């Protein structure tokens, strides 16, 4: 394959659609041929901003095109499984934003479609790609560091349906199926297969219909443990903060940045070709397509995360 991989970004007007577009603009092997949004006006605005030739509405308008090799889905969570299956059925490669699905049944059904396909199918589990977590993973792989405990805080202020840009949205986010998925997958990636999982949750919001606070405990096959606290009630600071307590060191990871236990910043600029986790995630997607190989964060690799989430959902019910 010598030509550039032709990519469509669906949900391009959203916060993460634009993050993917920012990343793709730095990847020489990729070219964005079309963007899709929820309205023509929004699609046109994104296309103009990023210099994309074609702007359409919806996924169907993308799948019928012959100038698209691969699709990145940055759409509402409830659409992820169905849309991933549709992209694969259309014979195109797919990367879907985290989470793959909001139920275990939908996640496993989508995996079955992916395994029956000869296309690349990947989920945007970005923590695998942040340089901060990559450095820790590289030390684990080299036998220089072993996780004993992870302490993770995922805190936002989301008492209304608003996205990362502060704009109103039509769907409801979820602490378990979205935000916990990041940590459940990362913990297994760094410490081994999860063999025990427990969860409790706070009151259900009367309008949103979801728990606004949650606590999760995990244990891996290596004996490592993880404590995850999640909240939509926290009025700052926002984001997810990871503390790795290991047998040789302590690390604090804040997205792409990494600090030691004394809160001294560690240089991770040489870990990968970019300091942007989303861009590195997209680079892996494009490289896997070009090389015809399974990507890091393939559906097969992350399915255990969703099986754990399914178990936790049963507990909470």
User: Maximum CA pair distance of the chain?
Assistant: 55
Which SS3 state, helix, strand or coil, does residue 93 take? strand
- State residue 150 phi and psi, 5-degree precision: -120, 130
Domains in the chain, please, with CATH?
A: 5-125+277-298 (3.40.50.720), 130-271 (3.30.360.10)
Beta-ladder partners of 239: 155
Under 8 Å between Cβ of 240 and 205: no
Q: How far apart are CA 178 and CA 187, in angstroms?
A: 15
User: pLDDT tens, 188-219?
Assistant: 999 999 999 999 999 999 988 889 999 999 99
The candidate with the shortest Cα–Cα distance to 283, out of 89, 7, 29, is: 29
The candidate with the shortest Cα–Cα distance to 68, out of 108, 19, 8, 117, is: 8
Beta-ladder partners of 122: 95, 298
Q: How far apart are CA 129 and CA 9, in angstroms?
A: 20
pLDDT tens track, the chain, 317 positions: 458 999 999 999 999 999 999 999 999 999 999 999 999 999 999 999 999 999 999 999 999 999 999 999 999 999 999 999 999 999 999 999 999 999 999 999 999 999 999 999 999 999 999 999 999 999 999 999 999 999 999 999 877 777 666 677 666 788 999 999 999 999 999 999 999 999 999 999 998 888 999 999 999 999 999 999 999 999 988 889 999 999 999 999 999 999 999 999 999 999 999 999 999 999 999 999 999 999 999 999 999 999 999 999 999 99
Which SS3 state, helix, strand or coil, does residue 278 take? helix
Q: How far apart are CA 292 and CA 307, in angstroms?
A: 27
């Amino acid at each position: 394959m010598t030509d550039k991989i032709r990519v469509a970004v669906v949900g391009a007007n959203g916060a993460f659609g634009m993050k993917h577009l920012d990343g793709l603009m730095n990847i020489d092997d990729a070219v964005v041929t079309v963007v899709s949004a929820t309205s023509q006006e929004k699609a046109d605005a994104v296309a103009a901003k990023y210099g994309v030739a074609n702007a359409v509405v919806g996924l169907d308008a993308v799948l019928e095109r012959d100038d698209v090799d691969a699709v990145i889905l940055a759409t509402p969570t409830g659409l992820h499984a169905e849309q991933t299956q549709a992209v694969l059925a259309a014979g195109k490669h797919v990367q879907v934003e985290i989470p793959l699905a909001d139920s275990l049944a939908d996640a496993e059904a989508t995996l079955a479609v992916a395994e029956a396909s000869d296309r690349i199918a990947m989920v945007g589990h970005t923590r695998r790609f942040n340089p901060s977590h990559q450095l820790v993973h590289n030390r684990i792989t080299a036998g220089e560091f072993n996780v004993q405990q992870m302490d993770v805080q995922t805190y936002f202020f989301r008492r209304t349906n608003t996205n990362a840009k502060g704009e109103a949205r039509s769907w409801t986010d979820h602490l378990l199926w979205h935000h916990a998925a990041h940590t459940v997958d990362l913990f297994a990636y760094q410490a081994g297969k999860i063999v025990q999982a427990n969860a409790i949750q706070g009151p259900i919001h009367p309008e949103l219909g979801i728990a606004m606070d949650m606590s999760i405990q995990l244990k891996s096959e290596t004996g490592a443990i993880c404590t995850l606290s999640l909240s939509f009630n926290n009025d700052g600071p926002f984001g997810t903060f990871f503390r790795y307590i290991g047998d040789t060191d302590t690390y604090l990871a804040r997205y792409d940045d990494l600090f030691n236990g004394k809160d001294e910043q560690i240089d991770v600029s040489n870990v990968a070709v970019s300091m942007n986790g989303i861009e590195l995630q997209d680079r892996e997607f494009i490289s896997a397509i070009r090389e015809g190989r399974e990507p890091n964060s393939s559906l097969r690799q992350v399915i255990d995360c969703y099986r754990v989430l399914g178990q936790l959902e049963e507990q909470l019910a």
